[in-house]
Structure 1
Amino acid sequence: PARWRPWRFRMSNDVWGKPVVSGNLLYVTSFEVHALDVTSGRRQFKTREVAWSMALAEGLVHASDGPSLYALDAADGRERWRQATGGWVYSLQVAAGTVVTGTRGGGMQARHAATGEPLWELTGAQTEFETQEAGPLAHDGTVYVWGEGRLRALDTRSGAERWSYPIGDAAACGGVPVRLLPVDATAGTAAGPTVFASAGKRVLALDAAYGTLRWTFEAPAVLLSPPAYAPGAALTGGGVFVADHLGTVYALDAADGRERWRIATEARQSIEPVLVADNHVHVGSGAALYTLDAVAGTPMWRFATRGDLIGTPVAADGRVHFGSADHCIYAVDAVGGQLRWKLATDGEITGSPVVANGVVYACSKDRCVYALDAEKGTARR
Structure 2
Amino acid sequence: MSFWTATSHRRSRRRRSRARRARWLAGIGAVLVVGAVSVAVAVPRGGEAASTRRDRSVNTARPAPPARFVGKAWAHTALDEPQGVLVDGTTAALLGSRSVTLLDGRDGAVHWQAPVDAPNPWWALDRDTVLVSTEAGFVALDRATGDLRWRASASEASGPVGLVDPPDADPLALVTTTAGGIAGLDAATGATRWSGRLPGSPRGLLATDDASGTVALVSSAADTRLRVLDARSGAPAWETPVGARAGSPLVTDGTVVLGAAHLELAGEVTAYELADGAPRWSAPSLGAFQPGLVPTRAGDAVYVVDELGEVVALDAATGAPRWRRDLEEAVVMGGPVVVGDTVVVTDYAREVVVLDRASGRVRARPLAGGVPIALAGTDRLVLVAQRLVTDGQLSAFRPHELSQP
Question: Normalising by the residue count of structure 1, what TM-score does the alignment of the two structures yield?
Answer: 0.68
* Aligned-pair identity (%): 20
Residue matched to 2:52: none
**Structure 1 segment 147-158 matched on structure 2, within 5 A:** 147=177, 149-158=180-189
Superposition pairs of residues 347-362 of structure 1, within 5 angstroms: 349-357=372-380, 359-362=381-384
Query: Equivalent residue for 1:277?
Result: 298
- Pick closer, same or farther for the CA change 1:125–1:249 going to 2, 3 Å: farther
Aligned to 1:103: 134
Match among 203, 217, 237 for residue 214 of structure 1? 237
1:375–1:263 CA distance, 2 compared to 1 (3 A): same
Alignment of 1:190-201 (within 5 A): 192-200=212-220, 201=224
1:182 is displaced (CA, Å) by 1.1
- In structure 1, the partner of 2:280 is 260
CA distance in 2, matches of 1:144, 1:346: 36
Matches within 5 A, 1:70-81: none
Post-superposition offset of 1:195: 1.3
CA contact (8 A) 2:129 2:143 kept: yes
Q: How does 1:42-57 map to 2 (within 5 A)?
A: 46=77, 49-50=79-80
Is 1:244 matched with 2:260? yes
Once the two structures are superposed, what CA deviation does each residue of 1:95-142 show, in whole Å capped at 9, x if it has no partner?
A: 56445443324x223455566665443332642xx6xxx443334321
Query: In 2, Cα distance between the equivalents of 1:218 and 1:292?
Result: 22
Structure 2: stretches of 5+ with no match in the other structure: 1-63, 166-170
Q: Which residue number corresponds to residue 309 of structure 2?
A: 287
Note the 1:46-195 alignment, pairs <5 A: 46=77, 49-50=79-80, 66=98, 88-90=118-120, 93=124, 95=126, 97-105=128-136, 107-112=137-142, 119-124=149-154, 126-127=156-157, 134-140=159-165, 141-147=171-177, 149-168=180-199, 172-173=200-201, 177=203, 179-185=205-211, 192-195=212-215
Normalised by the size of structure 2, how large is the TM-score?
A: 0.64
Structure number having the greater helix percentage: 2
Shift in CA distance, 356/307, structure 1 to aligned 2, threshold 3 Å: same
- Greater CA deviation, 366-375 or 333-342? 366-375
Distance 1:116 1:249, change over 3 A: closer
Aligned pair count? 316
Secondary structure in structure 2 of the residue aligned to 1:229: strand
Aligned partner of residue 308 in structure 1, secondary structure: coil
The structure 2 residue matched to 1:337, chosen from 360, 365, 390, is: 360
The CA distance in 2 between the partners of 1:248 and 1:307, in whole Å, is: 19
Q: Is the 8 A contact 2:297 2:303 kept in 1?
A: yes
With over 3 angstroms needed to count, the CA separation of the structure-2 counterparts of 1:144 and 1:125, relative to structure 1, is: farther
2:21 alignment counterpart: none
Instruction: Mark the CA change 1:250 to 1:333 in structure 2 (over 3 Å): closer, same or farther.
Output: same
CA contact (8 A) 1:7 1:372 kept: no
**Amino acid across the alignment from 2:296:** L
Deviation at 1:352, TM superposition (A): 2.1
Report the Cα distance in structure 2 between the residues aligned to 1:263 and 1:165, rounded to whole angstroms. 34
Contact between 1:143 and 1:156, CA under 8 Å: does it hold in 2?
yes
Residues 109 and 346 (structure 1 numbering): CA distance in 2 closer, same or farther, change over 3 Å? Answer: closer
The 2-side partners of 1:362 and 1:71 are apart by: 15
Q: Distance in 1 between matches of 2:303 and 2:146?
A: 40
Q: Which amino acid aligns with 1:124?
A: A
Aligned to 2:44: none
What is the alpha-carbon distance in structure 1 between the residues aligned to residue 361 and residue 100 of structure 2? 45
RMSD: 3.8
Bigger RCO (CA 8 Å, 6+ sep): 2
Deviation for aligned residue 1:193: 1.7
Unaligned runs of 5+ in 1: 10-37, 186-191, 232-237
